[in-house]
Amino acid sequence: MDYPPLRDYGVIGNDDRCALVSRTGSIDWCCFPHLEDASVFARVLDVDRGGHFAVSPTAAHESNHRYVDRTNVLETTFETERGQATVTDFMPIRNGREAGSGRGRDDGHDYAFDFDHEGDANRFQQAIYRLLECDRGDVEFGLEFAPRFDYARVTPTFERVADGVVARGDDRSLFLYTGSESPLDDLTVSESDATVSGTVSLAAGDRWWTGIQYGGRGPLSSIDLGACLDGTKRYWRDWLGTRDGAPGTMPERWYEAVVRSELVLKLLIHHETGAIPAAATTSIPEKIGSDRTWDYRYNWIRDAKFTVQALHDTGHEREGREYFDWFADVARTDPDEIQPLYSLHGETGDAVAEQTLEHLSGYRDTGPVRVGNAAAPQQQLDVYGTIVQALYETVQFDVSVPIEDDWDALRDIVDYVCAHWDERDAGIWEFREEQRHFLHSKLLCWVALDRGIVLARENDLEAPLEEWKDSRAAVREAIEERGYSESAGSFVQYFGSEEALDATALLLPIYEFLPPEDDRVQSTIDAVLERLTTDDGLVVRFVDSEVREDEEEPFLLCSFWLIDALVLSNRLERAREYFESVLEYASPLGLYSEKVDPDTGELLGNFPQAFSHLGLINSATYLSRALEVDGDVSPENFDPGHVETLFRR
């Protein structure tokens, strides 16, 4: 079997559990009990050893899939010569956060989930349900259930039970539900290849449920699965709210992309802590054949500022507040111990230590397969500015946030920046080879000082303001004198370089370090357009760097940064053109990975990628606001007063 392209995968999930489902009906990636735990299916990382759970017609067929409108419920439709059938995949969501019961209506059906204790409620969510329906004619489906515990390091044993099969490996179990009166024919348990297989024949109007339950058999075998499906649809639609149609001047296509991005983010949010991982997968390569394969199932501090903006812009105040609480806890740590990334439960050390899984070949035979991330103990000075900016942003959106409660911790962070801003670090791209004075890190140190001063002044909070102002001035002087290259006509990746250009320079006007009309800002944008940007508006991260070789694959978030910088420059037509172009690179389901091949449109890197979807939300809302002010502006008609900054002051 070949590896499906990432564009052929959909993602389903709930409260920090996700699964990738291929267009051919195979679940090829899933971890239980949480996203950061070991996989039970990992065929996306090794087509032979990884494990999967597939249902698809036994006859030749064509297939396509779509999400049920405004939900994370996935429908895959199969066409054969004899008929048509649909497989509906979803992870159930109990109504509310506490054990108990919930009631509601959707599609004309009542639903209710009742649990005796918290354990039942948790197990309810450790499941994937699959509904097979024959729409016309007749269709025979084949089923293959091949779990592989602990990243395929443990081969299961199987036990037949009345309503299915239980797979066990070490202290873990996975229950395959087939029903007590199953139409499944020729159910076979093969111990030699550790696979359960069978067929089921459906005629027009027939329906059959199957699914898996992690850690036990109940309540999968005892609940009303049809009502559960209806309730899950209702949950997603209720969470999105009652917004009908695109707001303001936002085109419907943009609005649909924003809604899908919201739903992706909600899939990734960990319900216990509010943390948001960078992506749902590990080790999908940034380039086929390269060793740039990283585990992204952790929460990066640097994502905070963009996350806060996106959640509040889309009206999800509760999630924004929970995320605030998560990184506010991080901020209370000794600044010297703050790390760039954490587990979704806030852990460091062994919980995120990197190891290589030599027994897995990697996506499209590109390894190594890594779990954990060695960037965790790096010094990345940008994290401090990110924390201060995110807290600052949250206060702007929600005046009820008691900034006084976190002020001591925030003041310690700003003091730390005063003492350490002029040190070398690993930078935003987490270079493992060497440390430099990266411009982005210095910019975020300036942000920490600037926003700290503003927060202290506006809230009458105690702070060594003169010392902070002196340090802020010193950082500004260093950036302006050592970070700009006259020969390149641009701010550069690190101090002292003449030619190394980095897309992070686009953030200088976005963070209000310099006004967008500054000649150096405009020449930097022009240099990015000339040297980093494709004709379609896709932006690579850097070029001509001594730290690492150039990358050919554009980084999607950088494309959204360029769009935002163009908006600030009032180059609205080009910003709109590029935004429309980037939308074309989404998968048919509206999903983005980390990178994209501009020649083939192939998605690359971990998938789906939170950073890409955050960038889309922010650029769509930001560009729409600007277009409401100036609906018809040529790139030459520059008037910075027409647009506000992305991060409000």
Domain end marker among 240, 269, 288: 240
Residue 133 has pLDDT above 80, yes or no: yes
Provide mean pLDDT across the span 514-532.
Answer: 98
Contacts of 635 (CB under 8 A, 6+ apart): 571, 572, 573, 574
Residues 532 and 601 in one domain: yes
Share of the chain above pLDDT 90, in %: 76
CATH number for 69 = 2.70.98.10
3-state secondary structure labels for all residues of 623-637: HHHHHHHCCCCCCCC
Provide mean pLDDT across the span 601-619.
Answer: 96
Domain end marker among 187, 215, 240: 240
Of residues 361, 368, 364, 370, the one with CA closest to residue 288: 364
Residue-level pLDDT at 123: 62
49 lies in which domain range? 6-240
Question: What is the rounded average pLDDT for all residues in the chain?
Answer: 90
Alpha helix positions (H), 6-115: none
CA 554 to chain centre: 17
The residue that leads in pLDDT, 194 or 97, is: 194
How far is residue 459's CA from residue 66's CA, in Å, rounded to a whole number? 49
Residues 553 and 469 in one domain: yes
Does any domain span residue 311? yes
With cut-offs at 50, 70 and 90, classify the pLDDT of residue 271: confident
Residue-level pLDDT at 181: 72
With cut-offs at 50, 70 and 90, classify the pLDDT of residue 428: very high
Of residues 218, 223, 221, the one with CA closest to residue 112: 223
Domain end marker among 187, 212, 240: 240
Residue-level pLDDT at 122: 63
Residues 495 and 355 in one domain: yes
Packed helices 439-458 and 465-482: angle between N→C axes, nearest 10 degrees: 150
Residue 556 has pLDDT above 80, yes or no: yes
User: What is the tens place of the pLDDT at every residue in 471-519?
Assistant: 999 999 999 999 999 999 999 999 999 999 999 999 999 999 999 999 9
Residue 115 has pLDDT above 50, yes or no: no
Residues 262 and 212 in one domain: no
Residue 570 has pLDDT above 80, yes or no: yes
The residue that leads in pLDDT, 264 or 406, is: 264
User: What is the tens place of the pLDDT at every residue in 449-463?
Assistant: 999 999 999 999 999
- Domain count for the chain, please give it: 2
* CB contact at 8 A, 86 and 147: no
The residue that leads in pLDDT, 434 or 86, is: 86
Among 17-26, 34-43, 107-116, 564-573, the minimum mean pLDDT is found in 107-116
Residue-level pLDDT at 104: 33
DSSP string, 544-564: S-SSS----SPBHHHHHHHHH
Among 177-181, 247-251, 273-277, the minimum mean pLDDT is found in 247-251
With cut-offs at 50, 70 and 90, classify the pLDDT of residue 218: low
Residues 310 and 232 in one domain: no
Does any domain span residue 380? yes
Residues 568 and 447 in one domain: yes
Provide mean pLDDT across the span 320-348.
Answer: 90
User: What is the tens place of the pLDDT at every residue in 152-200?
Assistant: 999 999 999 988 999 999 899 999 999 877 677 788 999 899 999 999 9
Residues 562 and 588 in one domain: yes
pTM of the model: 0.93
Residues 285 and 327 in one domain: yes
CATH number for 540 = 1.50.10.10
